[in-house]
Chains A and B, each alone.
Chain A
């Protein structure tokens, strides 16, 4: 029998409902379920007990001239009787390259030290200083256990640990899903707690203290470990404790509503409360001369020691035709640092028989935090909190990508995504003297390639 390559599922479902005189059931369209939706498809046999489901992915991320990352992900889930699922996930993040450290470019050579005082780098005039000794590997391990707690009530409990060379994060989380209204409505309650500790090599820098600082006429000279050899007072004064910690509490309240067989709406409110050391020990702020714009010194940044982030997320999914799914979402975020952001995300899953193609567009814009300043003017009073981290500046970002995958066939279930990302922070205003002609926050361009492969054992 030569069946068409198009799926017949939706037509057969409608025919079955007619013959059984069922009102259009609110079971979600199979296409929606496949496109990875929150509401579980009604009436599906679960994966079989004793079966392992394995998901693997590898991601390559590269910013032009800056950070690049390779991130392999491996997840294994085992199914037990009565819908109980154990899963464990391992993520390795290998980062290399340079990241902007907040300092302004200059007409002269500059050099900086890392928080350690060991290892330094030089900057060509007019270039934004990047910390290219930046190299780190992150290892994250998480596990979760999910099971029904009562009829229509599911619970999952998770533990996670994430370790970097100078960073340790331990966390626990729990999510409850309650289905009602014939499983057409799902209420989700999530709670998470994490305790993070940062212990940078060479201790935590004192907030707003001058970074040990060397000036040289040649790159060679600048690269010598000036600060250490010199044992300058500045370098000693600038360092404080060996580690700092923070705690994060996350709360999520969500509703997922099946609107009709072919559409779903999800609304989430989440609150994230951070408390403790929220400063980035690797970032500095340049102090520049008010008339010439020449950088005179760099001080370590300082951020408030608490942050309350609120976000509202709305997402709609709709099945179109037999095999297509439109996925639209919007997120509004605001916090007590004075930042607000808007994210609009659109994906269209275009089903082509056993293949699919999914274009993706995302637009993001944020307003700067109250304490963001591109630089400080020498002689003016020092603010209690300041950061020149461009990630806290006014900015826009655009992501455009496409994913292609095959859901059946000899190679199983795989997909490849290619995404281009462009981040354009706004330039700080009021740049004095020579700074006026320099770009402090150049756009960041990045390319990402991700490959996923899923299989069962």
Chain B
């Protein structure tokens, strides 16, 4: 059994911040309360819920649902209700993006590593993976999934946002204080701070740990998608880490970062991802959706 370190608690004024690492990201929970014990409890609940979701949907663990679906080796596998809801959601995003977003495109990671180098995949490498991709090859009836042998399901595109929403929901059952959950930049809050003030969020579109502009969040969620430290550069061409599942290639003219505000983190994250997939038309897409957004290019 792996033991995780307890979240680190830091206090400034009435605001307590619990920090922990999860999903390969720095995470924090802000609790607007003078009661340090309450803040510690809330931090614990959030960290536990995030860990549960990470364990359950991780593609790196043998005991995850993702591993179990694959282990069925092409046979039908009945999933639990939570997994079913996430598969439904992924299917909806696949439809809304006309196939550009696809839960099965995780295999592309074998040929694309966005580490700032110039190792751009070859056409042959990408084409060789195409038979192992495509939600249309998956049979899903809302209860049982049949995943062809060699294919993978990857919740990476929505898992962190989903975890933030879920963790906040749990935390709210334990505390009436204003809470903000931030999982590596995908964040959601329970409402305004004490006295009605907004949460002040710095926007770090460069991934340098420095906030550029400041956003105010009264309620709902913010999510940022982008390629701050994840891209390839060859012959002066920047290859964004945003892959179009239909081609297996990075989206052309993708924005560096897109931040979207929405009632839930999963909705904000999905809109940000879809905006990136729209390449040069990201701003138009977001203006059309009429959601508050900030695009860095």
Considering the complex, give the chain A residue whose CB is closest to the CB of B85. A19
Q: Chain B: interface residue count, which band?
A: 35 or more
**At the interface, yes or no: A46 with Cβ under 8 Å from chain B?**
yes
Instruction: Answer whether residue A82 sits at the interface, using C-beta atoms and an 8 A cutoff.
Output: yes
Q: Shortest beta-carbon distance, B158 to chain A, in Å?
A: 8
A1 x B169 contact (CB < 8 A): no
Within 8 A of B (CB), among A11-39: 11-13, 15-22, 25, 27, 30, 34
Q: Are A48 and B216 in contact (CB under 8 A)?
A: yes
A20 touches B222 (CB 8 A): no
Contacts of B88 in A (CB 8 A): 15, 18-19
**Please, how many angstroms separate the alpha-carbon atoms of A221 and B261 in the complex?**
73
1/0 per residue B247-272: CB within 8 Å of A? Answer: 00001000000000111101100110
Cβ–Cβ < 8 Å partners of B270 in chain A: 12, 16
B290 adjacent to A407 (CB under 8 Å): yes
Interface membership of B149, Cβ < 8 A: no
**A45 with B292, Cβ < 8 A, contacts A15-B92, A19-B266, A354-B287 known:** yes
The verdict on A217 contacting chain B, using a C-beta distance below 8 Å, is no
Q: Is the CB of A19 within 8 A of B263?
A: no
A21 cross-chain contacts in B, Cβ below 8 A: 85
A contact residues around B281 at 8 Å (CB): 3
Decide if B64 is an interface residue (CB 8 Å cutoff).
Answer: no
Q: Given A11-B96, A45-B215: A151 and B196 within 8 A (CB)?
A: yes
A354 x B213 contact (CB < 8 A)? no
Q: How far is the CB of B134 from chain A (nearest CB, A)?
A: 16
Are A11 and B287 in touch, CB under 8 angstroms? Answer: no
B200: A residues at CB distance < 8 A: 81
At the interface, yes or no: A83 with Cβ under 8 Å from chain B? yes
How many A-B contacts at CB < 8 Å in the complex? 142
Interface string of A4-16 (1 = CB under 8 A from B): 1101110111011
Q: Interface code B138-177, partner A: CB below 8 Å = 1, 0 otherwise?
A: 0000000000000000000000001001100100000000
Complex-state Cα separation, A129 to B270, whole angstroms: 66
Contact across chains for A1 and B278 when beta carbons are under 8 A apart = yes
How far does the alpha carbon of A439 sit from the alpha carbon of B113 in the complex, in Å?
Answer: 85
Q: Are A13 and B267 in contact (CB under 8 A)?
A: yes
Give the residue of B96, B196, B216, B284 whose beta carbon is less than 8 angstroms from that of A45.
Answer: B216
Which residues of chain A from 31 to 87 have any CB-CB distance to chain B below 8 Å in the complex?
A: 34, 42-46, 48-49, 81-83
**Per-position binary interface string of chain B over residues 176-206, scored 1 when its CB falls under 8 Å from any chain A CB and 0 otherwise:** 0000000000000000101111101000000
* Complex: A22 Cα to B220 Cα, angstroms: 14
- Chain B, residue nearest A21 (CB): B85
Instruction: For A17, give the chain B residue with the smallest CB separation.
Output: B264
Q: Give A202 Cβ to nearest chain B Cβ, in Å.
A: 54
| In the complex, chain A residues whose CB is within 8 Å of the CB of B285 | 3
Per-position contact with B for A145-172: 1 when CB-CB < 8 Å, else 0? 0001111100000000000000000000
Residues B264 and A42 in contact, CB atoms below 8 Å apart: no
Chain B residues positioned under 8 Å from A150 (CB to CB): 195-196
Interface centre among A2, A43, A148 (most CB of B within 10 A): A43
List 4 A-B pairs, minimum CB-CB distance, nearest first: A43-B220, A408-B287, A43-B263, A45-B261
Known: A3-B278, A407-B290. 19 other contacts (CB 8 A): A1-B279, A9-B289, A15-B93, A18-B88, A20-B169, A43-B220, A44-B218, A44-B219, A44-B292, A45-B220, A46-B216, A48-B215, A49-B214, A81-B200, A83-B198, A149-B196, A407-B288, A408-B284, A408-B287
